[in-house]
Amino acid sequence: MRFVVALFLFVHGFAHTVGFVVPWRIAKLEEAPYKTTVLAGKVDVGHVGIRFIGVIWLLTALTFFAAGGLLVGRYPWWQPLTLGTALFSTVLCVAGLPESRLGIPVNILILIVVLLGGTIGLP
């Protein structure tokens, strides 16, 4: 079970890289067009601001990767790290709406798994 959850954390972390590669114009994606606004277009943060937010998306991705690695290694810190990262990721997803709408239920699922960790056989 821990490998399945860790893989899920890795995949979700990889999904977060979209929030980095698009603002930095490393990739063009139809599903996530380049924009300088957040909160469903309500706040324009400009080109520099959206790059800064892109770095935050990347750091969140790396944190999900670390959480998955900690889970695989059976380190107990995976739970608080994953809990905090999923909560922060939810905030990022709200800021990135509507493109990031799928991330919100994914984060809720991650939070449920973390909170049930011991009862479903996770270290």
pLDDT tens-digit readout, 76-99: 999 999 999 999 999 999 999 999
How many other β-carbons are positioned within 10 Å of the β-carbon of residue 94?
A: 15
Contact 85, 64 (CB under 8 A): yes
Question: Mean of the per-residue pLDDT values for the chain?
Answer: 96
CA distances 94 to 68, 75, 87, 100, 104, Å, are 23, 30, 11, 7, 8
pLDDT of 119 reads 79
Q: Is the peptide bond before 33 cis (omega within 30 degrees of 0)?
A: no
pTM of the model: 0.94
pLDDT tens-digit readout, 65-74: 999 999 999 9
72 backbone dihedrals φ, ψ, rounded to 5°:
-60, -40
Alpha-carbon span 109 to 107, nearest angstrom: 5
